[in-house]
Structure 1
Amino acid sequence: MTLTLEDRAAGALVGAAVGDALGGPVEGWSPEQIVERHGGRVRGIVGPWYADWRTARPIAPYHKGDGHVTDDTLMTHALVRVYEAVRDHLDAYAVAEHLVPDLMTTPRWIPELEAEALVLQRVFLAEKWIVTRIHYGHADPREAGEGNIVNCGAAMYMAPVGIVNAGHPAGAYAEALDVAGAHQSSYGREAAGVFAAAVAAACVPGATAASVVDTALGLAKDGTRQAIAAVREAARGHRHFESALGPLRAAVAPYDSVGPDYRAPSLGARRPSRLHSIEELPIALGMLLIADGGYEGSVLGAVNYGRDCDSIAGMAGALAGALGGEAAVPAGWAKQVADASRLDLHAPAAALASVAREVFARDLHRRRTHESAFTTLTPPDAP
């Protein structure tokens, strides 16, 4: 049975939120530390790393765990709201005109704060940069990402771009690069384009984990492409994430500027470079390959990898969810995350699918108009 656009949108967005929530409580730690803390690998939703999470550093004041989504999901849902407002393809100016006001003016429930607050008050400094540069600095939206640290901040919420361009990876890549220009530069911006393209590729009927990664490699540039290729090679021969945790980290390490100590990056970390890549996207693709597109294997592999595992699991969850549809995401996990986070995880997906249908109709009209004009310009009997 061919999955519908609605199925894939729900799989991608619900799957991303669940992956985000599973990875949040172990973010920043190594696989070995995760095993020591939890008495084995994480197999589902777990509680906070520290019982005194309100004051414990470096977690405070966020309640990470117990099914709470993080800023990855908050930003993803914010981007869906921008699509709902614009109801067409987005660009950097849509970020300035819609996303920035959304982040800084409308209080929403923030699961990790267990309170209503502005989304701006929860997001990381690299996401606050968007507001600082555009609202306060009056930067050109297309160039506002210049000067920000280069990380996965833009890529982590680009799944909606892939859904709006479902089945058209090149279109998703180009659109995400434009949108992400307001937020990131260099390989952080590149990863946003490649991730959106991978989500669009996962929506192609008959797509597999391998075809998704092939599409990503066909579009990726510079260090991002090399990192994905290295991780793909390392993933060969592994059928479970347990044996792949070390090899995947070793494969991506030469391209990851953060270094071995995730919480203490060097002064050279996160600077623009054509030689580097964010770590999160290649690892998410590697886990997708090892699990052969399966949701639980992809996400649990990402969670137990550690480091920035909420973003890795969110990306892996979006890709596996887009491949398998809503039914691929364990319903129990989805309900627990929705209840704990006080979020309707399905409404954004339904809204986005509706927008995607409208955008496709607009694209079809634009294409027909172009065809008509071009045919007039090139009559069959022209020399």
Structure 2
Amino acid sequence: MNWLDDRVGAVLTGAAVGDALGGATEGWTPEQIAERHGGRVTGIVPPYYDDWRTARPIAPYHKGDGHVTDDTLMTHALVDVYAKRRRHLDAFNVAEDLVPLMIGATRWVPELEADALILQRVFLAEKWIVARLHYGHVDPREAGVGNIVNCGATMYMAPVGLVNAGDPEGAYREAIDLAGAHQSSYGREAAGVFAAAVAASVVPGATARSVVDAAAALAHDGTAAAVAAVVGAVERAGAVGPDELGRVIRDAVAPYDTVGPEYRSPAMDARLPSRTKSIEELPAALGFVLAHDGDFSAAVLGAVNYGRDADSIATMAGAICGGLGGREVIPADWARDIAAASRIDLDAVGATMADVVRDVAAADAERARARVETLAALTAAQPSPAQPSAGRDLG
């Protein structure tokens, strides 16, 4: 298998594996997770509640048991949009292509154990896309304004990083445009920075440090400050145990996180637009990736046992570590069992995305060639303007 196919497949498989493992622990504290599962989670585990259908009526989802969540459903839907268009995307493609997939085509939803619409599974912040674009006919470039600010757009931006493989700045710009239909403020910013991290991760020779540096170089405002705080805290902590590492990362990101200490009881100012705040998930994911030097299992399990929004943190960490290490770093039994439990063909999704990446790369290369020729013509030495002859009467 060539480098491109391996890395593209690893990013998407790594994201799905992280999502499925983290879904079982989402919303809980590290202490609650350890009590429920008899210690730290080390693989696929059952739901937190045995009576998952009725324990939380607002979210009657079968998390755990290897089931992917809405993070993966939305990621794969975006892959489908790229496969249809086979080019770079923008906010209008959310309205014209992604929303119709959310409301017009059923697929197996593992957490509902049924064929259903993506709309029926996603959180309210993602339902917003449908309300604003399909029913409100809002300009897609502005539709994210007014939504609660969260990680909803960031969680499915890995494909944007892949179509801009090796170009973090291009990935950032495309994700910022695309995510404008869904999010604003630091929710939109995180989407761009995550896509950039994925684009940086698949470059031959990339390291956890080079990925974090690429993300930090493009981040702005509170997102930049939160990433810097987490990176600094991880570096100062050095070699610490996994439980202590989770506390180090949480303490570092807490001043920038609007949700507050009680994940299921958000603060009054939670999820409001801000120049100084950040989503928690992306800085935390980068912290786990850096602390474990890109080790897939260690970074993902760190996110899983962190709790809170564990599925999205592990999704991001899994995507980046997959890009860094390729398929060989993802435990084969995790990938196999999660694909079976969730009824998804991870290999096929990766192959589809890799074909798109090749097509987009070829088009980008042709545009770059044409641009170089244009610049050469524009900057070529030109003859001086003709001067009037000395004997000509100008009077």
TM-score normalised per structure 2: 0.95
Alignment of 1:173 with 2:172, yes or no, is yes
- Residue 131 of structure 1, CA deviation: 0.7
**Alpha-carbon distance between aligned partners in 2 of 1:169 and 1:18, rounded to the nearest angstrom:** 24
Give the letter aligned to residue 317 of structure 2: A
What per-residue deviation string (whole Å, max 9, x for no partner) do you get for residues 53-83 of structure 1?
1100267421001000000000000000000
2:183 aligned with 1:151: no
C-alpha separation between the residues in 2 aligned to 1:97 and 1:88?
Answer: 14
Question: Taking structure 1 as reference, are residues 100 and 60 closer, same or farther at Cα in structure 2, changes over 3 Å only?
Answer: closer
- Please list the CA deviations of residues 253-308 of structure 1 after superposition, one character each: whole Å capped at 9, or x if unmatched: 00000000000112211000010000000000000011110100010000000000
What percent identity do the matched residue pairs reach? 66
Give the CA deviation at 1:379. Answer: 1.0
Change beyond 3 A, Cα 1:3–1:210: farther
Local SS of the residue matching 2:27? coil
Q: Residues 101-120 of structure 1 correspond to what in structure 2 (within 5 A)?
A: 101-120=100-119
Q: What CA distance in whole angstroms lies between the structure 2 residues aligned with 1:171 and 1:347? A: 26
Distance in 2 between residues matched to 1:169 and 1:238, nearest whole Å: 29
Q: Distance in 1 between matches of 2:383 and 2:218?
A: 36
Q: Secondary structure at the match of 1:254?
A: helix
Mapped pair 1:191 → 2:190: yes
CA distance in 2, matches of 1:152, 1:238: 29
Task: Determine the structure 2 residue equivalent to 1:364.
Answer: 365
Q: Which amino acid counterpart does residue 311 of structure 2 have in structure 1?
A: D
Bigger Cα displacement from structure 2, 49-58 vs 67-76? 49-58
CA distance in 1, matches of 2:114, 2:105: 13
- Where does structure 2 lack aligned partners over 5 or more consecutive residues? 385-395
Q: In 2, Cα distance between the equivalents of 1:271 and 1:260?
A: 16
Q: Per the alignment, in what secondary structure is the counterpart of residue 334 of structure 2?
A: helix
Provide runs of 4+ in structure 1 moved above 4 Å: none
Question: Counterparts of 1:7-18 in structure 2 under 5 Å?
Answer: 7-18=6-17
TM-fit CA distance, 1:156 = 0.2
The alignment's C-alpha RMSD in Å is 1.3
- How many angstroms does 1:382 deviate by? 6.6
Asked if 1:253 corresponds to 2:248, the answer is no
Instruction: Give secondary structure in 1 for the equivalent of 2:116.
Output: strand
CA distance change for structure 1 residues 188 and 291 in 2, over 3 Å: closer, same or farther? Answer: same
Structure 2: how far apart are the matches of 1:258 and 1:47? 26
**Aligned pairs, how many?**
382
Q: Distance in 2 between matches of 1:149 and 1:157?
A: 17
Please name the residue that 1:354 is paired with.
Answer: 355
- Quick one: which amino acid aligns to residue 351 of structure 1? T
AA aligned opposite 1:171:
G
Counterpart residue type for residue 272 of structure 1: P
CA distance in 2, matches of 1:55, 1:233: 42
Structure 1 residue 243: deviation in Å? 2.2
1:67 aligns with 2:66: yes
Structure 1: which 5+ runs fail to align? none
- Deviation string 1:102-145 (CA, Å, 9 cap, x unpaired) is 00000100000000011111111101111100010000000000
> 2:266 is aligned with what amino acid?
P
Letter in 2 for 1:241: P
Task: Tell me the secondary structure at the aligned position of residue 209 of structure 2.
Answer: helix
Distance 1:120 1:345 in 2: 22
The alpha carbon displacement at 1:367 in A equals 1.3
Question: Quick check: which has more Rg, 1 or 2?
Answer: 2
